[in-house]
Amino acid sequence: MFEQGEQTGGKMNRIEFDSCVFDTGPTLITMPFVLENYFSSIGLTLADNLTLCKVEPACHYRWSDGSSLDLPFEMDDVARAIEDFAPGNGAPVSRYLEQARELYDLTKDVFIFSPFRGFREFWSLKNVRMLPHLHRLRFMSSLHSVHSKTFSDPRIVQLFDRFATYNGSSPYLAPATLMVIPWVEIGLGAWYVKGGIYTIAEVFTRVAQENGVRIHLRSRVESINVERGTACGVTLTDGSIIAADHVVSNADVFVTRRHLLGVELDEPTNLSSSGLVMLMSVEKADHGLAQHNVLFSDDYPGEFAALATEDRPRKNASIYISRSSHADVTQAPSDRENWFVLVNAPPKGKSNVHDQDQISSWDGHAETQAQLVLEQMSSFGVRPVVRQMMIRTPDTMASEWSSYKGALYGSSSNSMFSAFLRPRQRSSDVANLWYVGGSAHPGGGVPLVITSGMIAADLILSSLST
Ligand SMILES: Cc1cc2nc3c(=O)[nH]c(=O)nc-3n(C[C@H](O)[C@H](O)[C@H](O)COP(=O)(O)OP(=O)(O)OC[C@H]3O[C@@H](n4cnc5c(N)ncnc54)[C@H](O)[C@@H]3O)c2cc1C
């Protein structure tokens, strides 16, 4: 395996400063059974390798009118908490979660856990049981339109709309099929991993090495070599050529095709969002926050419209704050906290690691943007005393991980056809070339990325036996 970075993990990575430990990407894990399945597929157990912890409350939400809601971890407590906060919305939330569970059960084997070959497979005999339920897939309505018809309180609409951002999409454009996201978080739980989320990457790396995988760090692939339409290895930037029977690319699919295969491609028009991340060591203090927190902007439609039209996030964008030191003493000394602050940003960073000289809309603007975020936090009564800060922009995402323009999940789900158009594991034009990761089927987020790798592994093994 060839990784251009200093350590394995990609977006799931770890940075340390001021004696604090920071995850750089994922801060919560959903669908823990995917991790269980991964370990059991190689004869190991999740419990022997990782400690998953419940996060209580699951999230602290705060609005600009001063109201706030702590959403409980246990699903059975969610409707009651919402009813107390927004009378009349508890029963609709219960009904909504039940519908979302049905939708997940109906779609998961087709859209998530199988290789899924697009429209043709969707209409095939094996999915015939889904046909009478097509209306329940809610392709034709936006996530926001379903939420605004279901909940009478605009704050509850906004709370559920936010789940579209879990794969870099807009609730005003993405189909209501994405109701499966709140279901997996609320119904199946959002978990923290003791020692930090990066522990998952560390354990996966160890397990891979114990099973014979040789990992070469600081080794960037310059091109994928193809002979007579079949992938036959890679060339590294230092000129070495490595022969292989199969090539699996975990890099962004668009970047793989344009830069590593040299395919001429039009600019993508449906990129997922990127992010402005501020990692901050702060003085320990009581701001009334939980481990996960969201400070909601009071112009959500404007915030998402700006992601499509502007270069950088709006002044009053919503803010996510994760403080894993709240639950895990290994992440910061007793007098400070490790804040991970994320604001959704347009995917308009430098286009990739190969092009560092490009001018980006972020050049010279990161500090100003970070200052705006701190001012916005202050308007919610959150005024941390910052000891040290590291700012990471879409340029950082593009250069460290070669994500095109810093988009965090490849293409967004901002159209009813997104799930059908996402690149599959098997390359359609080069034999023995496979795509895995968040920009490939079934999509972004840790459990789906692990699933994409497992689907590719199954396909490669079955191709070897035919
Ligand atoms: C700020 C942020 C917050 C997130 N929050 C969550 C969350 O809470 N929960 C969740 O489930 N998900 C979250 N995600 C999404 C999740 O991190 C990603 O979906 C997942 O980690 C992506 O994995 P990947 O393997 O597809 O891509 P990557 O992690 O980007 O891995 C690709 C790897 O390929 C390497 N590479 C690329 N090109 C080359 C080349 N030419 N040669 C050699 N190596 C190369 C890169 O360096 C990188 O290590 C978040 C992501 C970010 C950035």
Percent of the chain predicted with pLDDT > 90: 81
Residue 427 has pLDDT above 70, yes or no: yes
> What's the pLDDT tens digit per position in 263-308?
999 988 889 999 999 999 999 999 999 999 999 999 999 999 999 8
Query: In this predicted structure, what is the pLDDT of residue 359?
Result: 75
Tokens representing 464 are 């070897």
* Peptide bond preceding 26 in cis form (omega within 30 of 0): no
Residue reference for tokens 């001012």: 375
Which of 422, 425, 446, 459 lies closest to 33, judged by CA? 446
Span 320-340, average pLDDT: 98
Q: Residue 192's beta-bridge partner residues? A: 53
Residue 70 has pLDDT above 90, yes or no: yes
Tokens representing 90 are 């508890």
Are 155 and 67 within 8 A, CB to CB?
yes
Query: In this predicted structure, what is the pLDDT of residue 354?
Result: 55
> 247-249 and 433-435: which strand pairing?
parallel
- Rounded to the nearest angstrom, the gap between the alpha carbon of residue 285 and the centroid of all alpha carbons in its chain is 29
What CA–CA distance (Å, rounded) separates 279 from 276?
A: 10
Tokens representing 276 are 């402005």
Q: End-to-end CA distance of the chain, in Å?
A: 25
Query: In this predicted structure, what is the pLDDT of residue 170?
Result: 95
What CA–CA distance (Å, rounded) separates 49 from 30?
A: 17
Span 58-68, average pLDDT: 97
Span 329-358, average pLDDT: 84
Are 434 and 224 within 8 A, CB to CB?
no
Residue 398 has pLDDT above 80, yes or no: yes
Q: Torsion over CA of 74, 75, 77 and 83, rounded to 10 degrees?
A: 150
pTM score: 0.95
Residue type, 390: M
Q: Relative to the CA of 255, which ligand 1 atom is closest? A: 38
Q: Is 28 a pocket residue for ligand 1 (Cβ < 6 Å)?
A: yes
Q: How many CB atoms lie within 10 A of CB 432?
A: 18
Hey, where are the domains in the chain? Answer: 74-188, 269-406
Long-range contacts of 220-225 (CB under 8 A, 24+ apart): 220/2, 220/4, 220/353, 221/2, 221/4, 221/251, 221/260, 222/260, 223/260, 223/261, 223/262, 224/249, 224/256, 224/260, 224/261, 224/430, 224/433
Query: In this predicted structure, what is the pLDDT of residue 237?
Result: 97
CA of 12 to the centre of ligand 1 (A): 6
Probe residue for ligand 1, chosen from 112, 218, 250 as the CB with the greatest number of ligand atoms within 8 Å: 250
Q: Is 25 a pocket residue for ligand 1 (Cβ < 6 Å)?
A: yes
What CA–CA distance (Å, rounded) separates 329 from 337?
A: 9
Query: In this predicted structure, what is the pLDDT of residue 418?
Result: 75
What CA–CA distance (Å, rounded) separates 466 from 450?
A: 25
Q: Is 275 a pocket residue for ligand 1 (Cβ < 6 Å)?
A: yes
Residue 108 has pLDDT above 80, yes or no: yes
Query: In this predicted structure, what is the pLDDT of residue 196?
Result: 98
Helices (H), 327-436: 366-379, 394-401, 418-421
Q: How many CA atoms lie within 13 A of 31 on its CB side?
A: 20
| 3 state DSSP class of 274 | strand
Residue 117 has pLDDT above 80, yes or no: no
Query: In this predicted structure, what is the pLDDT of residue 422?
Result: 87
CA of 437 to the centre of ligand 1 (A): 7
Nearest CA residue ID for atom 6, ligand 1: 26
Which of 440, 399, 406 lies closest to 423, judged by CA? 440
- Rounded to the nearest angstrom, the gap between the alpha carbon of residue 358 and the centroid of all alpha carbons in its chain is 26
Angle of helix 143-150 versus helix 90-107 axis, rounded to 10 = 150
Are 220 and 236 within 8 A, CB to CB?
yes
Residue 353 has pLDDT above 60, yes or no: no
What CA–CA distance (Å, rounded) separates 64 from 379?
A: 8
As a whole number, the mean pLDDT across the chain is 93
- For residue 284, give Cα distances in angstroms to 326, 386, 456: 10, 10, 45
Q: Is 444 a pocket residue for ligand 1 (Cβ < 6 Å)?
A: yes
**Mean pLDDT lowest among 27-41, 359-373, 445-459:** 359-373
Nearest CA residue ID for atom 31, ligand 1: 10
Query: In this predicted structure, what is the pLDDT of residue 448?
Result: 96
Are 339 and 283 within 8 A, CB to CB?
no
Q: How many CB atoms lie within 10 A of CB 39?
A: 18
Q: Is 408 a pocket residue for ligand 1 (Cβ < 6 Å)?
A: yes
> What's the pLDDT tens digit per position in 177-232?
999 999 999 999 999 999 999 999 999 999 999 999 999 999 999 999 999 999 99
Residue 315 has pLDDT above 90, yes or no: no
